[in-house]
Amino acid sequence: MKKQWGIGLSVVALAAALTGCGGGTGTTPTTAAGTTSASVPAESSAPAGTSSSPVPAGAAELKTASSAAGQIVVDAKGMSVYFFTKDVKDSGTSACTGACIAAWPPVLTESAAPAVEGVTGTVGTISTPEGKKQVTINGLPVYYYVKDKAAGDITGQGVGNVWYLVDPAGGMVQAAAGGY
């Protein structure tokens, strides 16, 4: 009986993390950044299957790529990045906390001005509770999805009707992705 109860609680906790992922105030950039090419390498809090090694100096930390959902923003390794609709633009905080972070790790950088290629939205950073820099686009923090295992995966698109891919201008891609 205790084992079934524990499994039931685990399922409920996982479901809450994947659908709601937080309910606090949103996040926004405190530092706007342009498109510099000589910024400090990124330290990525990438999903499983990707390495967290720094991006080579001078390389773009964020760039654009073609996907089944259209042109999207990806990191230097091609991993898709997402917005969370519960985040509040320009608030300087992330609404994804606790169990949410396990499923949706923040895109981190070491630079106050992350290097970008093809991204026309305003790129900046906010501080995480741990004192790291989370990348923002147009005042909203961006995240990875742990179920995206390889460059080009977009399995987080539309999850819980609150997670959406980011387009190069910094908008939410709310159209359904073909084949997903």
pLDDT of residue 144: 98
pTM for this predicted structure: 0.71
pLDDT tens digits, one per residue of 40-86: 333 334 454 333 445 455 578 999 999 999 999 999 999 999 999 99
First to last CA, the chain: 37
Q: Chain-centre distance of CA 5, in angstroms?
A: 33
Q: Give me Rg for the CA atoms of the chain.
A: 16
pLDDT tens digits, one per residue of 90-127: 999 999 999 999 999 999 999 989 999 999 999 999 99
